Structure 1
Amino acid sequence: MSKDNAIQYIELPPSPTGAKLQDPVLPSACEVGGCGYGPDVEHTPMPAFAEVRVNGVEITAEEIAREMQYHPAPEGEIAWHQAARALAIRELLQQVIASRRHKGQRQNDTDNPNDTEENTEISALLERELPAAHVTEEECRRYYDGHIHRFRTPDLFEAAHILIEPIEDTDSGRLQAEQQARQLTSELGNDAESFAAAARELSGCPTAQQDGSLGQVRRGELDRAVQQALEALAEGCTGREPVQSRFGWHVVRLHRRIPGQTLPFELAREKILDMLEARAWVTSASRFIGELARTANIEGVQLDLNASTTESPAS
């Protein structure tokens, strides 16, 4: 993530079309919400909060209500404050730009910029005001050594199962399924061909068509009890005890265990450098906006810009 793509982390608001200032692609697995206006945006109930003004310029409740869709939160009050904060930052920066235009300083945009041009103008302002971030090789190495677990691929388990479902959702039905599963575990042993044949004939899971194969799975992708049973097995072995889940009883087999690998520093370096530079840039941007806020008259919302980003360069 470059500093150009880091602008959104100081919570500048998106445009009314839903587009943010930049469209970042995070090095970590990262998903961004936002689906444009819904059918009832104009009728969204608005919390009764204090009026928001930046140097006397009001940010209306309707504007904040529309902005809230870009700041999902567990509570409406939190979303309202995040939306008001974002709009206040944007207004503050636009006032700085307007002041400099009035003083005759060169700007990159027209006197009546549209929303996209406003975003470009804000980006240009921050580019001019913020120092370039310089991250050393030593800092990258230190981050890598301190977060080595983030650069390791997950362990994989190549596995299969046979699902025995209860014929009916009764105590007797569940007991019958358990007894059938236990009989299977005692009969199959570790023979792979026998397991595959039993899966095709008896399994109630769609994987029956693939000899019960679950493919290569990671931790967290299976029912916890099934996962624990697989990890307790040696390669090429079938479990001697069936495992119960909400679906029924499972006879599990571990074909192969594939240990995760740690990404070498040389391959991780660029992602680390990109992330650390973006983090430093966001910190500088927050400090710059904080200085502007301290000399401005802001009512109805607080601009707390001390939080730092915590994005990881590894998924």
Structure 2
Amino acid sequence: MDDVRERVPVLVGGVEIAESAIAAEAQNHPAPDAETAWMAAAKALAIRQLLLAEADRLNIASGGRCDEEGRRLAEDDARIDALLCQEVVVPVANEAEAQRFFHQHRERFASEPLVEAEHILFSASPDDALNYSLAVGDARMAIRELEKDPSCFAALAKSKSACPSKEQGGNLGQIGKGQTVAEFEKALFALSEGELCREPVKSPFGVHVIRAGRRVEGRQLPFEMVEASIREYLEEASYRKAMAQYLSILASQTIIEGVSLPVAEGPLVQ
């Protein structure tokens, strides 16, 4: 006989949330296992019931509210939206606050450095020890040839590389951080302009011979260019904090069974 787990009923202020509703909601909460998805769904529906009960207490009407794309919200969704607009008010971030954040986190507001890359790929799977070892040997021979005659890079790429870039003499164009595998990136960005990597670079795709081309260093972006995005970020962060505090206050004032929600120990701080 199958072992069916008996679930504890979920009640918010005496209102039970049906298991069928939780099961349906669980589909919207990807998780490593069914129980984690179930609990995430139960919490989401408990919060929804908490907000609807507060909307009832404050006599909040839907008011025919619409979403950002102009589509009319369902009755309960509209009432929750109206409640939050009324009760969770976040001040607009001003220029001084944005300036302060900008100066405290200047590294976030700089363009990434770019390096032109040339490479020759000797294709081999890391799981095939023999072929991978042979690819390393081929790469070492190519490096020795390039050390003797740097001008033969394009010809070597054309004749030996397993990468489509061989049709451009191995030229990959400008590479930014995060655009290629970690092993390739680490080797490339460690090179000076025009420098050949003296050792074969191993990656999941095989073994690379790498030479750096022209390097464009990252530059600091001016405050005026990023002010709007900083203000938006600060306001969003403030809203999330205020929402969490508001929900915890409601939870602390309501008897909740079957699911655990954080409760507030102090007043709402905007």
Q: TM-score, normalised by structure 2?
A: 0.80
Corresponding position of 1:301: 259
Shift, 1:190, TM fit: 8.3
CA deviations over 1:85-129 (Å, ceiling 9, x no partner): 11111112222333444xxx665159xxx9623222211111122
Given that residues 47 and 80 in structure 1 are in contact (C-alpha distance below 8 angstroms), is that contact kept between their aligned partners in structure 2?
no
Check 1:286–1:245 CA distance in 2 against 1; reply closer, same or farther (3 A cut): closer
2:152 maps to 1:194: yes
Instruction: Give, in whole Å, the separation in 2 of the partners of 1:251 and 1:275.
Output: 42
- The residue type equivalent to 1:258 in the other structure is V
Check 1:118–1:170 CA distance in 2 against 1; reply closer, same or farther (3 A cut): closer
The counterpart of 1:82, out of the listed 26, 30, 40, is 40
Shift, 1:189, TM fit: 3.5
Corresponding position of 2:105: 147
Pairing of 1:129-140 with structure 2 (within 5 A):
129-140=87-98
Corresponding position of 1:108: 63
The counterpart of 2:185, out of the listed 227, 238, 254, is 227
The counterpart of 2:114, out of the listed 156, 175, 194, is 156
Give unpaired runs (5+ residues) of structure 2. Answer: 66-71, 265-270
2:134 maps to 1:179: no
CA deviations over 1:283-312 (Å, ceiling 9, x no partner): 333333333222222111122267xxxxxx
Given that residues 252 and 263 in structure 2 are in contact (C-alpha distance below 8 angstroms), is that contact kept between their aligned partners in structure 1?
no
Q: TM-score, normalised by structure 1?
A: 0.70
Instruction: Give, in whole Å, the separation in 2 of the partners of 1:80 and 1:106.
Output: 30
Shift, 1:199, TM fit: 0.7
Check 1:107–1:183 CA distance in 2 against 1; reply closer, same or farther (3 A cut): closer
CA deviations over 1:27-69 (Å, ceiling 9, x no partner): xxxxxxxxxxxxxxxxxx9964321011221112221122123
Given that residues 72 and 79 in structure 1 are in contact (C-alpha distance below 8 angstroms), is that contact kept between their aligned partners in structure 2?
yes
Pairing of 1:3-22 with structure 2 (within 5 A):
none
Shift, 1:131, TM fit: 2.9
Q: RMSD of aligned C-alpha atoms? A: 3.0
- The residue type equivalent to 1:67 in the other structure is E
Given that residues 47 and 77 in structure 1 are in contact (C-alpha distance below 8 angstroms), is that contact kept between their aligned partners in structure 2?
no
- The residue type equivalent to 2:245 in the other structure is R
Corresponding position of 2:19: 61
Corresponding position of 1:14: none
The counterpart of 2:172, out of the listed 214, 221, 224, is 214
2:83 maps to 1:128: no
Corresponding position of 1:10: none
Shift, 1:213, TM fit: 2.0
Corresponding position of 1:248: 206
Instruction: Give, in whole Å, the separation in 2 of the partners of 1:252 and 1:53.
Output: 62
Give unpaired runs (5+ residues) of structure 1. Answer: 1-44, 307-315
Given that residues 200 and 209 in structure 2 are in contact (C-alpha distance below 8 angstroms), is that contact kept between their aligned partners in structure 1?
yes
Instruction: Give, in whole Å, the separation in 1 of the partners of 2:9 and 2:31.
Output: 21
Instruction: Give the number of equivalent residue pairs.
Output: 254
Check 1:266–1:127 CA distance in 2 against 1; reply closer, same or farther (3 A cut): same
CA deviations over 1:211-232 (Å, ceiling 9, x no partner): 2122222334434443333233
Check 1:147–1:65 CA distance in 2 against 1; reply closer, same or farther (3 A cut): farther
Corresponding position of 1:311: none
2:154 maps to 1:204: no
Percent identical? 38
